[in-house]
Amino acid sequence: MSFKSSMKIVILASVLAFLWTAPSSAQEMAVPVSVQFPLFLKILVFDRNLRNRVGDEIVIGVIHQRKFKRSLRVKDEFMDVMKESPIKTVADIPIRLVSIDVDDADLENTISKNEIDVLYITPVRTLEMKKFTSLSFAKKITTLTGVPDYVAEGLAVGIGTKGGKPRIIINLPTAKAEGADFSSGLLNLAKVIKG
Amino acid sequence: MRLSNKPLPRISFRTIRAKIAAAISVVLGLISLFIFIFFPARLEKQAFKAISAKADSIAEMTAFSISPALFFEDVESIEEVIKSARQNENLVYMVVLDSSGNVIADFNKDKATHAYFSHSHDDNHISADGAICEVMTPILMRPNGRDIGRLYLGLSLKELRSEVANSRATIALVSVVILIIGTILVFIISTLATRHLGRMAETFEEISGGDLTRRADVSSRDEVGYLAGSFNLMVDNLEVARNKLESLNRNLEERVEERTKALKSSEGQLRAILESTDDGILVVDSLGQVIHSNRNFAEMWRIPEELTEEGNDDRLINCVLEQLEDPDEFLSKVRALYGSSETSFDTLYFKDGQVFERSSGPLIVEDKVVGRVWSFSDVTKRKKAEKEKSSLEARLQRAEKMEALGTLAGGVAHDLNNILSGIVSYPDLLLMTLPEDSDLRKPILTIQKSGQRAAAVVQDLLTLARRGVAVTEVCNLNEIISDYLESPVHAEIKIHHPEVQFRTNFEERLLNTLGSPVHLSKTVMNLISNAAEAMLDGGEVTISTRNQYIDKPVKGYDTVEEGDYTVLQVSDSGIGISREDLNRIFEPFYTKKAMGRSGTGLGMAVVWGTIKDHKGYIDVESTEGEGTTFALYFPVTRQESVQDAQSLSMEELMGDGETILVVDDVQEQRELAKGMLEKLGYRVRTAPGGEAAVEYMKNNRADLLMLDMIMDNGIDGLETYKRILELHPEQRAMIVSGFSETDRVRDAQALGAGQYIRKPYVLDTLGAVVKSELKKNTNGKISN
């Protein structure tokens, strides 16, 4: 069995598991992290401005709430998927994950100190996405999320579903404000929120 | 007048119009063909390229479109794209494979499978059936360009082919139309363009035919019009020039005519000058080629006219050389003079006896020797005249010599004849008185014969001097020769030359001649004697006679004139006479013989004198060592011999008392004659001279005059006779003289005087002549 075939099975299983276990709320992720992660890496490839923004590595800050279990769990899954994924680069730029508890640190300093290039927003409670987008706009950081609603709320890229299949959601104004320049090919595939 | 004789090319289909039309039509055809071939192919190629590019573009765009979907494995999106691509009606198939070669999405996969699996390469290409343009494009992940899949696309070329075919047909049609229209247009344009040219060509032809009044009638404002205008200007100038040229030509012709006339006149004069001379003139160039010759040259050298006209110098020179005695010498001299500036003279001797004097001088033109002028002068006559002159001078010398001798002899002879008359004539009288048996008869006869011989010697001298009186009798050479051969003189010769044979060959019916038998006999004797003496070792002397008619003068030793002759010829086989001696043998006292042996040197001189006295000619031919032939030509007489008359008896000689007047200035002669005549029965009267005789005859008559021709004092016998004839026109007379028959004697005979007898005469002779004269009528004719 080829890797691809394995990956498909994993993806399929994850989807099924998610669908079986995922709470039905607005913070709900449409697809499992294992599906999100490779997709996000692919999506980043379509950012034509990525190389201009990142340095020698793409630092992905995984925003989570320690106190929110689901967020923590998603963070951990994200980190695990990262570790287990054979794909360690985006456009041949190595990636590094940085876990960021949004409750603990001065988010701005932490982002700056870790030279975060991309933020992955796990499901969070009582936080407005503006908190993240203000920083992402200023620091030109692309925001990713597995929660489709967050995209509508202002984050740049999310993963939803359509017809049982993952579907990319892009908030185009946010993406542009964050300095991302997604190719039309990606945009053609994605659901684009224009404002 | 056309300046060139080249014929103008006839107008044919190869006109400018046709050429232009043909050329452009060909070009159009080629272009059309090119267009028909090239453009459809190019179109097809470009269409295919376009299709291929389109296919590439579609594939790339599709790949580009598909790339994110394929990256995200969004098959639905991929299929959407494919679906969108299917709007292209030419799309035959589309297959999307991932990087593993798995088909992610496809359209008309079966066709695609047949299409792309049949090829081993992934380049764009045309399918085997040519119906599909197949494209393969990698699907690359942007922006890093990672190959994430392949897109196979097939576009139908059917439409393309159809369009290409349509295009080709259209192009073909357009090409044909263009060709046709182009050809027509070209034809029309060329016709329009050449229309004026054709008219101009016609005009040019007329002009070339000499009509310079014609002009090209083209007024178009284009190159043709400009050409026509320029041509018209040229023709204007040409016309002016021609007129000038014609004027100059006329002037030149006139001048040429004048000069030609002058030249002809000059030539004519020159020719007239050359032809006027009697000399033959030949002008040659430095190579010896004949430049000019006058008529005399050809006539003198007897060059045939056709040879002169032929101009073959070799044949001409051969004709000349053949006539010369020494052609080699002539030729060598001629060759030596070629190119020379010397003047040369020479004498040319011809085989036929002609003699030319040749002079030659250089022909100098502008101080340069360009040839030679040969001048030939026929001096044959002059040379002959000189020769004759020399001969005449020699003869004159001889004659003067003889005349001197004759003068001497004449002076002596006259007296001797008179003295001898007594010795010769008186014995006749004595014999008439003596009895027949008288012992004195014989001595008296001897005395008479001696006297006659002495008289003969005197006659020889006179004959030699051409002053002796020769008896003019009708005599026959055969008889004279025969008498001589029987004479004691010849017998003596035969004794002196026992080994010499004498042979005769007489003409049987030899004609008579008038002459002196004694002298003729003497001549025969001299010739035979000389002939015998020329044959020291013996030989044969041939004496022959013949009658001969000379129809034209024969040039020999003497020139024998035309007439009837009786010829005496004496030939010997002796030593011959040299050429030098031949010219002198008739000179008096010129002899090779020893003096005293025989002859006194007068023998041949007497022969010469005798032949001249007899109005004859002598010819001598002699070759030293072979012999000599003398031929004596005596004029023939048709008279009968008077020998018969001289043999009359005394009774027949007696007269009848006729009166005879004897006229002689010598008394003894008068007495002698008187005595004889009276003896003969005539009545004799005498006159001492011519005047006395004339005086006598004034009052008297005489039956016969006996005239002495030479009378020292007073008039001679001829004058006496003339005067007497005035008194008595029909007076008969006879002439007596001691000299040879002279012109005066003949003149007297022409007046009517009768025969002539020479002193001393014998009774018989005197009687016969008197008898004969008295028989004649007063008109001089013998009466019956």
Q: Is B190 on the interface with A (CB under 8 A)?
A: no
Q: How far is CA B645 from the centre of its chain?
A: 66
pLDDT over 60 at A17, yes or no = no
Which residues in chain A have Cβ-Cβ distances shorter than 8 Å to B68? 46, 183, 185-186, 188-189
More confident residue, B738 or B441: B441
| pLDDT score of B466 | 57
B94 in Cβ contact with B153 (< 8 Å): yes
Lowest mean pLDDT among A69-78, B244-253, B512-521, B527-536: B512-521
How far A106 CA sits from the closest chain B CA (Å)?
35
Q: How far apart are CA B540 and CA B523, in angstroms?
A: 19
Q: Is B514 helix (H, G, I), strand (E, B) or coil?
A: strand
Nearest to A185 among B68, B100, B144 (CB): B68
Once rounded to an integer, what is the mean pLDDT over residues B406-433? 78
B619, B558 in Cβ contact below 8 A? yes
- Supply the ipTM of this predicted assembly: 0.73
Distance in Å, alpha carbon of A36 to nearest chain B alpha carbon? 11
**pLDDT value of residue B406:** 60
Residues 6+ apart with CB under 8 A from A115: A55, A59
pLDDT (average), residues B45-51: 78
Identify which of B634, B686, B671, B273 has the alpha carbon closest to the alpha carbon of residue B477: B634
Q: Grade residue B36 by pLDDT with cuts at 50, 70 and 90.
A: confident
Tell me which of B131-145, B172-186, B430-444, B464-478 is least confident: B464-478
Residue B470 pLDDT class (50, 70, 90 cuts): low
Q: At B362, list the tokens.
A: 């250089």
Top residue of A5, A45, A181 to mutate, by most chain B CBs within 10 Å, is A45
Distance from CA of B77 to the nearest CA of A (A): 7
Q: With an 8 Å Cβ cutoff, is B387 touching chain A? A: no
- Lowest mean pLDDT of A94-103, B201-210, B309-318, B638-647, name the range: B638-647
Question: How does the average pLDDT of chain B come out, rounded?
Answer: 82
Whether the ω angle into residue B143 lies within 30 degrees of 0, i.e. cis, is: yes
**Mean pLDDT to the nearest integer, B136-147:** 78
Of residues B592 and B341, more confidently modeled: B341
CB contact under 8 A, A45 and B72: no
Closest partner CB to B142 (pick from A39, A46, A166): A46
Min distance A90 CA to chain B CA atoms (Å): 10
The number of C-beta contacts closer than 8 angstroms across A and B is 43
Q: What average pLDDT does the segment B290-294 reach?
A: 85
Cβ within 8 Å, pair A46-B76? no
Instruction: Report whether pLDDT(A118) > 90.
Output: yes
Q: How many CB atoms sit inside 10 A of residue A53's CB? A: 18
Identify from B142, B146, B151 which residue to disrupt to test chain A contact, counting A C-beta atoms within 10 A and taking the largest count. Answer: B142
Query: Does B521 have pLDDT greater than 70?
Result: yes
Set of chain B residues whose Cβ sits within 8 Å of the Cβ of A45 = 71, 141-144
Look at the pTM and tell me if it is higher than 0.80: no
The predicted pLDDT at position B687 comes to 95
Please state, rounded to an integer, the average pLDDT across all residues of chain A. 86
* Nearest chain A Cα distance for residue B72, angstroms: 7
Give the tens place of pLDDT for each residue, B619-638: 999 999 999 999 999 998 87
Comparing B33-42, B108-117, B153-162, B219-228, the range with the smallest average pLDDT is B108-117
In A, minimum Cα distance to B77 occurs at A189
**Partner-chain residue, chosen from B74, B100, B141, that has the shortest CB–CB distance to A45:** B141
Question: Using CB atoms, which residue from A4, A183, A189 is nearest to B74?
Answer: A189
The 10s digit of each residue's pLDDT in A58-91 is 999 999 998 888 899 999 999 999 999 998 988 8
Contact A185 B141 (CB under 8 A): no
Nearest CA in chain B to A47: B143
Contact (CB<8Å) B77/A188:
yes
In this complex, is the C-beta atom of B69 within 8 Å of any C-beta atom belonging to chain A?
Answer: yes
Distance of CA B654 to the CA centre of its chain: 78
What is the per-residue pLDDT for B432? 83
Chain B residues whose CB is inside 8 A of the A185 CB are 64-65, 67-69, 142
Which DSSP state fits B613? H
Contacts of B65 in chain A (CB under 8 A): 185, 188
Q: Is B518 on the interface with A (CB under 8 A)?
A: no
User: β-pairing, B125-126 with B132-141?
Assistant: antiparallel
Please compute, for residue B619, the number of CA atoms within 13 A of its CA located in the half-sphere on the CB side.
15
Q: Which letter, b or e, does each residue of A2-38 get, where b requires 16 or more Cβ atoms within 10 Å of its Cβ?
A: eeeeebeeebeebbeebeeebeeeebebbbbbbbbbb
Q: Residue B517 — very low, low, confident or very high, per pLDDT cuts 50/70/90?
A: confident
What is the model's pLDDT at position B593?
58
Q: Which residue of A has its CA nearest to B64?
A: A185
* Cis peptide upstream of residue B9 (ω within 30 degrees of 0): no
Distance from CA of B99 to the nearest CA of A (A): 11
- Using an 8 Å CB-CB cutoff, list chain A residues near B71: 42, 45-46
How far is it, in rounded angstroms, from Cα B601 to Cα B621? 20
Question: What's the token pair of residue B107?
Answer: 């359209």
At B658-678, the pLDDT tens digits run 999 999 998 888 998 999 999
Residue A25 is predicted with a pLDDT of: 44
Using an 8 Å Cβ cutoff, are B131 and B156 in contact?
Answer: yes
